[in-house]
Chains A and B, each alone.
Chain A
Amino acid sequence: MSGSYFRTSRNIELSTIYFLETSLASDWTGVTVCKTFKEVYASSVPLPIVCVRLAETSTTRLEIGSTTIENRYLLIIDIFSKSDAQRLDLADYMKDKLKDGWVHYDHSHQSGDNSVLERTVNGRDWVTDWNTDGKVDFGEAADEKDKFRHTISFLVRKSS
């Protein structure tokens, strides 16, 4: 079978989105999960919105003399909510979900057909460090979607 297989960074990003999407779908109503600001600000997408993306990778050697590298992935979640209360609830909910780790999937799709993603379980993703967690205050006059913003960032490691 010929196909297109994604590398670790994309797999971590997509696995995280998939995990939050399925969790929010079962525990919340009407929360949209996306990965770009273009989607967030599209007028067709109502609040609340959760934007998840992998921003950067930090690479170090596992130990001196080793050729094995140890990657940490910086994931950032932006929450765009309807109210301050919802912002806090969503932030707490997601941290609570993420703290236990989530299934890591290898993603692929058939050549020429990227409409369907195939997922194969391959370990777990873990939060190793919480980086930032707080309200983003653009003031009272901010755009409707920016009024109740929250950002969470954390470092992730993939276990084999």
Chain B
Amino acid sequence: MALLTIDAYVNPNSTLPDKFLKDVQMKFTTIQDGVEALAKETASHMKDVIDANKKKPTNKKGAENQLENSITAEKISDGDWGVGNTSKMVPYWKLANFGGIPRFGGKYHLVPGWMGAVGEGDFTFRYDKNGTGSTVMALPSGVKGRLPAMNYIEKTKMWLDTVWKVHQNLKFKQGNYTVHTQ
């Protein structure tokens, strides 16, 4: 986790406490706005990563882009933002990211819009009527379908780390105060 700090330098001869407080609050508000923008940009980038890594996406109406559409940037508390609320994301978010055998509860879940990415030709997946991925189907005995890992989370985190490092080198100087991140 990145640590955000604010250094405010006080000129004892000219800075009154209330002005000092207002200035720090103003800087903090600016940083909060920046974090919000970065969170939204990160969610957008994650969607782009998924879009770029999808193979054989479905064109079934309502089932396309389900994973991307379930990714949001949400405010957790003052100054804290989260990207990708897993309780709201499609249930196969983990499987799509890490790859594996799509088997849960003794049944095979469908992954609309992405299950076709198996790409190894073992069998064909079908979508359920709602395109939600909740319908099950049996696989022929001895046949294993596997999903390669998309790793959209790791790729997005790598992107975010790079962006953050660029920003942390920026210093904003105004008046007697210096605000920087470290």
Contact = CB atoms under 8 A, between A and B. Distances in A.
Contacts of A76: 149, 151, 154
Given A60-B162, A78-B98, A146-B101, A131 B106 contact: no
Contacts of B162: 58, 60, 72
B158 A72 contact: yes
Given A37-B149, A131-B161, A145-B101, A138 B154 contact: no
Across the A-B interface, the 8 shortest Cβ-Cβ residue pairs: A143-B101, A153-B154, A146-B100, A41-B146, A136-B98, A74-B158, A141-B105, A37-B148
A27 to B, nearest CB: 26
Interface in A19-72: 36-38, 40-41, 43, 55-56, 58, 60, 72
A60 B103 CA distance: 40
A151 B99 CA distance: 11
Interface in B132-170: 144, 146-149, 151, 153-155, 157-159, 161-162, 166
Interface residues of B, number: 26
Contacts of A38: 120, 146
Interface in B78-98: 94-95, 98
Contact of A155 (B99, B103, B104, B158): B158
A84 interface: no
A132 interface: yes
A18 to B, nearest CB: 22
Interface residues of A, number: 29
Contacts of B146: 37-38, 40-41
Given A37-B149, A141-B105, A149 B158 contact: no
A138 B99 contact: no
Contacts, number: 79
B100 A129 contact: no
B120 A153 contact: no
A142 interface: yes
Nearest to A41: B146
A139 interface: yes
B154 A136 contact: no
A141 B103 CA distance: 7
Nearest to B100: A146
Contacts of B105: 139, 141
17 contacts: A37-B99, A37-B100, A37-B148, A40-B146, A41-B101, A56-B158, A58-B162, A72-B158, A76-B154, A132-B157, A136-B94, A142-B100, A142-B103, A142-B104, A143-B103, A149-B100, A153-B154
Contact of A138 (B95, B106, B120, B144): B95
A151 B157 contact: no
A36 B120 CA distance: 12
Contacts of A153: 151, 154, 157
A146 B145 CA distance: 13
Contacts of B157: 131-132, 153
Interface in A111-160: 129, 131-132, 136, 138-139, 141-143, 145-146, 149, 151, 153, 155
